[in-house]
Amino acid sequence: MSAPIMVSEQEIQNQYTYLDAVSRMIGGRGKRAYTHTFGCQQNEADTERIRGMLAEMGYEMTDSPEEADFILFNTCAVREHAEDRAFGNIGALRQLKKQRPDIIIALCGCMAQQEKNVEKIKKSYPQVSLLFGTHALWRFPSLLYRVLNGEKRVFDIGGEDDIAEGLPVLREQGAKAWLSIMYGCNNFCTYCIVPYVRGRERSRRPEDIEKELRELVAAGYKDITLLGQNVNSYGKDLGLDMDFSDLLRRLNDVPGDFLLRFMTSHPKDASPKLFDTMADCPKIAKQLHLPFQSGSDAVLRRMNRRYTAEDYCKLIDYARDRMPDIVLSSDIIVGFPGEREEDFQQTLDLVRKVRFDLLFTFLYSKRSGTPAAEYDDPATPEEKQDRFARLLRAQDEIVAARQAAYMGRTLRVLVDGAAKSPEHPFTARTEGNLLVCVRGDGIQIGEFIEVDVEKTSLRCLFAVKKE
Ligand code: 5AD
Ligand code: SF4
């Protein structure tokens, strides 16, 4: 397979020229930018790039859209609910745009890569003056330049499946950071819109990833998540003799005190080699997000997932065998078209068998343009809701028991913020990413400490710093 197309250095340089031009127009004038991100971590990472560009242009960031001169929504198209919320948010700004016609309202992300949404924005949301898709993100400086120079509406939904290196980034302060290692998806699960809006899989070069990791570690980030829609197929397009496990080993060798996580993994590509690598590498967190979506082989087939419930359980058995304390999470879709009660029972069986630490449960949402949108869907919304509620109840019982089993244990945690509880005033994360509220003397945000668990609840462990 041919290596992914890189946006040329010349083109990136051109964007820096536009960035400078914008900064001469708006820099030093107290202009402010507000961004709002819907959806997944990939979108959050994309927003950090846009904020990086905005900051270099001279915008100050604000948490209030009313105060902003530039407002950006980075949108998600995975479920209808996320789309509705984005439209609601933009709709609510119509008045503000009337009062202050000079503000720039922009929309980007996955919704901007879909024709039906673009048409709707064109027709019914005149307050949006800039729209660009996921493929055009790196062209943001030139697009904003055009708006600032009086073009009424700038829409850029074109672009290739390429990779742009060398853009600025403005990350959240704190201990955690995202690090994209690849973009796009080739899997075409029949319910999912992602391959249509984010294009084909393409991997960043290992040297670029390692360089960014070293920068993150030097900047003090300690909990770093490698991102991609399907990280287990990392490298297949690079023509190098290296896969995701090899990348993990290389990154594990970067000096410093940090933890690496990764998401999302696909069961069809997760292998014993990956779990051996995780077990061997001390800086790779013993945590795995491995979506199984359904426990029914019939449903999995119609979802085009290319594994069976048994394959999945074998993987989990192997992972637990190598890493007995591994923290496991998963995604499940309830109410996929044609899901029968017996299919749902198999999902419940799998949940009870594996006993996940955390589940992300979704009601199926029809996405036009995907194959499943054409499938017969005889179950009623009430039936689907009822299954959803039963799944949550089953999972709550499991989580309560799993959490209670941590009582009295000593854990190494990374302190990452302030908690609401006065008795346990700091939040922290275990290596497996479980939430812990901690108390004790001399606790500092951004440090790894040892704690003893003294209380548990469904969502949180409570612990005291070890003397
Ligand atoms: N409806 C409901 N959930 C979906 N997901 C993806 N597409 C849909 C859809 N059409 C869920 C999957 C995926 C997670 C990110 O979102 O569970 O793993
Ligand atoms: Fe969507 Fe499947 Fe790709 Fe995940 S692996 S992004 S669910 S198509």
C-alpha 370 to ligand 1 mean position (Å) = 12
- Cα(298)–Cα(221) distance, rounded to whole angstroms? 43
- Cα(74)–Cα(71) distance, rounded to whole angstroms? 10
Say what the pTM is.
0.95
Q: Specify the pLDDT at position 160.
A: 83
Find, among 441, 436, 433, the residue nearest to 452 by Cα: 436
C-alpha 317 to ligand 2 mean position (Å) = 23
- Cα(418)–Cα(446) distance, rounded to whole angstroms? 11
Q: Specify the pLDDT at position 174.
A: 85
Vertex 233: Cα angle to 284 and 243 (nearest 5)? 60
Average the pLDDT over 272-297 and give the result.
98
- Cα(446)–Cα(467) distance, rounded to whole angstroms? 18
C-alpha 192 to ligand 1 mean position (Å) = 6
Does residue 1 surpass a pLDDT of 60?
no
Nearest CA to ligand 1 atom 13: 331
Q: What is the pLDDT of residues 377-427, one digit of tens each?
A: 999 999 999 999 999 999 999 999 999 999 999 999 999 999 988 999 999
- Cα(56)–Cα(35) distance, rounded to whole angstroms? 15
- Cα(121)–Cα(144) distance, rounded to whole angstroms? 18
Of 40, 76, 79, 294, the residue with max ligand 1 atoms within 8 A of its CB, to mutate for a pocket test, comes to: 79
> Do the beta carbons of residue 211 and residue 205 sit within 8 Å?
no
Does residue 4 surpass a pLDDT of 80?
no
C-alpha 265 to ligand 1 mean position (Å) = 14
Q: Specify the pLDDT at position 425.
A: 96
3-class state of residue 53 by DSSP:
helix
- Kindly identify the ligand whose nearest atom is closest to the C-alpha of 194: 2
Does residue 2 surpass a pLDDT of 80?
no
Q: Specify the pLDDT at position 258.
A: 96
Nearest CA to ligand 2 atom 1: 192
Find, among 107, 116, 42, 114, the residue nearest to 75 by Cα: 107
Tokens of 463: 């612990």
Does residue 269 surpass a pLDDT of 90?
yes
Q: What is the DSSP string of 394-461?
A: HHHHHHHHHHHTTTT-EEEEEEEEE-S-SSS-EEEEETT--EEEEE-TT--TT-EEEEEEEEE-SS-E
Nearest CA to ligand 2 atom 2: 189
